[in-house]
Structure 1
Amino acid sequence: MGVLTALAILAGLIVVHEAGHFFAATWQGIRVSGFSIGFGPALLQRQRRGVQFALRAIPLGGYVAFPDDEEDSEIPSDDPDLLRNRPLPQRALVIAAGVIANLLLAWAVLLGQGLLVGVPAGFSATPGVLVAAVQPGQPAAASGLMAGDRILSLGGVAVGGGSKAVVDLVADIQGAPERSLQIQAERNGETLSLRLTPSDRDGLGRIGAQLQPNGSEVFRPAKGPLELLGQTNRVFVQLIRRTVDGFVALVTHFGETAPQVSGPVKIVEMGASLARQGGGSLFVFAALISINLAVLNALPLPLLDGGQFALLLLEGLRGKPLPDRLQMAFMQSGFLLLVGLSVVLIVKDTSQLSVVQQLLGR
């Protein structure tokens, strides 16, 4: 059920993104020929008011199709309702609408969390530190630690609870580069004894794992609309900043951050885990993924909304579109990059699933 919930959230976010493009176009009277979720062969399709709605076999996104891109279209090339014949501001709105839709959805989800679950009122901590994520090829993974494990003790000393336990554990690890540490961890009710040797990075011990307090957040009803809106806006801005910082770090420190990049398999696994936990975690997960989709699509890369926007900006500066062959080369390179990256991430994330690790005897 958790996996189905995570898949439903991802599908919903994609639908909202593409619906942003679709409604921005139809609201302005721009012709639209197709609305697809996924790529490849159509599994389900329906024609309505001249638009072909389809659910396709490869669930890696979606797209809105325009007659402008169809060679066999019966619509005259000088039709004023074709996207390419509309003024730049109208076309820019259509391109930006997907990003705007995902941002609005993220804000609405956080507002819904405040209405249905409440606003944060503290943290109910239990002993131990939770391993939220493990980077492949790093000391934590080499020791046998996996995401979801709860670290109980380090060097025979019990680990406390709450944020202070995380700070203390990180300090102990940073102070022990290249030293073998004995840790005890709990996994699915079983206690494991593992050896962990932090790597030495600029004199500090690093293990390549994301640690967080073990426990659950406590919520209470908002005192009024102002507190509810204030909390929603604060969390919304925080998630946007974290997301942007993550993409900046990927560019500026690619070697360190690239192993942390996750694809759809890992995202679904994380969503399924949060769905089983219940509470407000799933709301934040949906909002965070929606913001990530918005920021990712805003990047000036081929096939993404930001790439289309960059072409539109160049057209505005030149006073005319770039030659078709350059636009085609730009888009084709983006398609190969997107497919290649998707395949790599799916294979990487699948190989790290606990059930796959068990089958491989790791």
Structure 2
Amino acid sequence: MGVLTALAILAGLIVVHEAGHFFAATWQGIRVSGFSVGFGPVLLERQRRGVQFALRAIPLGGFVSFPDDDEESTIPADDPDLLRNRPIPQRALVIAAGVLANLLLAWSVLVAQGLVVGIPAGFSATPGVLVAGVQSGQAAAASGLRPGDRILSADGVNLGGGQSAVAQLVERVKGAPDQTLQLQAERAGQTVTIALTPADVSGIGRIGAQLQPSGSEAFRRAKGPGEILSQANRDFASLTRRTVEGFVTLATHFGETAGQVSGPVKIVEMGASLAKQGGSSLFLYTALISINLAVLNALPLPLLDGGQFVFLMLEGLRGKPLPEKFQLAFMQSGFVFLVGLSLVLIVKDTSQLAAVQQLLGR
């Protein structure tokens, strides 16, 4: 059920994103020919008012198609309702609407969290630091550290609990490149000893693990709509800032952070785990993935909304569109890159699944 819940959330986020493009176009009277979830061969389809609504075989996104892209379209090239014949501001709205839809959804989910779960009322910490995830091939994985382990002490020093425990362990790791730390951890009710040697990355210790406080967050009923909106605004701003910072770090320190990039398999695995926990976790997961989807699509890369927006800006500066051959080459190279990257991430994330690791005897 957890996996199905995570898949349903991801599918819903894709639908919302594409719906943003679709409704921004139809609201302005722009012709639309298709609304697809997924890529490749059509599995299911339905025609409604001249629009093909389709579910396709490759679940790596979705798209809204326009008659402009169909060489066999019978619509005259000078039809004023074709997307390419509309003013730049109208086309810009269609392009930006997917990103805006995901951001609006994320904010709405955080408001719903305040209504359903309540307002955070403090963190009930338990001793130790929880290992939320471990990257394959990194120091944490090599030491035998596993997701779900609760690290209680490092070199005989108890870590305590809460965020301060996480900060203390992170500082010890950063200050011990190529030095072995003796960790005491709790795993499935038993205490285990782990020898962890952080890798030396530019003089700083790195282990390739996601760490978080051990415990649970308490919630209370909101005092009114104003408190719900204020909390949603704070959470939305925090999640958006952290997401943007993450993409900036990836771009500026690619060699050090590329291993942390996750694909759809890892995202579903994380969502399935959070779905089992229930409470606020699933709300935050949905909001975070929706914001990530918005920021990712805003990047100026081929096939993404940001790349289309760059084309539109250049058209506005030049007074005419870029040559079609250039646009086609740009899009084709982007398609090869994004599909290749997706396949690499799927293989990498699948190989790190616990079931696969057990099958391989690791």
How does the TM-score come out when normalised to structure 2? 0.96
Matches within 5 A, 1:280-291: 280-291=280-291
- Alignment of 1:11 onto 2:8: no
| Distance change in 2, residues 1:185/1:316 (3 Å) | same
2:261 maps to 1:246: no
What is the letter of the counterpart of residue 113 of structure 1?
Q
Whole-Å separation in 1 of the counterparts to 2:325 and 2:205: 51
Cα distance between partner residues in 2 of 1:240 and 1:285: 13
Q: What residue number does 1:114 align with?
A: 114
State the match for 1:316 in structure 2: 316
Q: Match for residue 299 of structure 1?
A: 299
1:97 is matched with which residue? 97
Cα distance in 1 for residues equivalent to 2:34 and 2:158: 59
Which one-letter code corresponds to 1:304 in the other structure?
Answer: L
Per-residue CA shift, 1:6-48, capped at 9, x if unaligned?
1110000000000000000111111111000001111111011
SS at match of 2:219: strand
TM alignment of 1:165-204, pairs within 5 A? 165-201=165-201, 203-204=203-204
1:191–1:329 CA distance, 2 compared to 1 (3 A): same
Give secondary structure in 2 for the equivalent of 1:285: helix
1:262 match: 262
Shift of 1:204: 4.2
Alpha-carbon distance in 2 for matches of 1:174, 1:92? 45
AA paired with 2:168?
D
Take 1:36 and 1:356, find their aligned partners in 2: how far apart are those partners?
32
Q: Which runs of 5+ in 1 are unaligned?
A: none
The corresponding residue for 1:346 is 346
Q: How does 1:350-361 map to 2 (within 5 A)?
A: 350-361=350-361
Matched residue SS, 2:242: helix
How far apart in 2 are the matches of 1:313 and 1:334? 19
- What secondary structure, in the 3-state scheme, does the structure 2 residue paired with 1:137 have? coil
Question: Which residue of structure 1 lines up, in the alignment, with residue 225 of structure 2?
Answer: 225
| CA–CA distance in structure 2, aligned partners of residues 295 and 37 of structure 1 | 19
The separation in 1 between residues aligned to 2:200 and 2:67, in whole angstroms, is 57
Q: Secondary structure at the match of 2:122?
A: strand
Q: Aligned equivalents of 2:335 and 2:190: distance in 1?
A: 45
Indicate the residue corresponding to 1:149 in structure 2.
149
Aligned length: 362
Identity %: 78
Distance in 2 (alpha carbons) for counterparts of 1:337 and 1:264: 16
State which drifts further: 221-230 or 308-317: 221-230
Letter in 2 for 1:349: D
Label 1:60 to 1:184 Cα distance change in 2 as closer, same or farther (>3 A): same
Larger displacement relative to structure 2 (31-40 or 218-227): 218-227
2:79 is paired with a residue of what secondary structure? coil
Code of the residue aligned with 2:230 in structure 1: it is: G
TM-superposition CA deviations, 1:280-322 (whole Å, max 9, x none): 0111110010001101101111100011111111111111111
* Separation of aligned partners in 1, 2:152 and 2:6: 29
1:71-96 Cα distance to aligned partner (Å, 9 max, x none): 11111111111111111111111000
Distance across 1 between alignment mates of 2:262 and 2:231? 28
Q: Please, which moves more after superposition, 246-255 or 125-134?
A: 125-134
Per-residue CA deviation, residues 114-157 of structure 1 (Å, 9 max, x unaligned), is 11001111001112210122233321111011222221333344
1:23 aligns with 2:23: yes
Q: Which residue of 1 aligns with 2:66?
A: 66
Q: Which segment is superposed worse, 175-184 or 2-11?
A: 175-184
3-state DSSP class of the match of 2:177?
coil
What is the DSSP-based 3-state SS (H/G/I as helix, E as strand, rest coil) of the residue aligned with 2:59? strand
- Deviations along 1:321-343, one digit per CA (max 9) or x if unpaired, are 11110110011011001100000
Match of residue 44 from structure 2: 44
* CA distance in structure 2 between the partners assigned to 1:144 and 1:14 by the alignment: 36
Helix, strand or coil: the match of 2:186?
Answer: strand
Q: Distance in 1 between matches of 2:298 and 2:82?
A: 24
Alpha-carbon distance in 1 for matches of 2:264, 2:85? 36
1:77 match: secondary structure: coil
Corresponding letter in the other structure for 1:301: L
User: Take 1:156 and 1:355, find their aligned partners in 2: how far apart are those partners?
Assistant: 33
Amino acid of the structure 1 residue aligned with 2:186? E
Secondary structure of the structure 2 residue equivalent to 1:218: strand
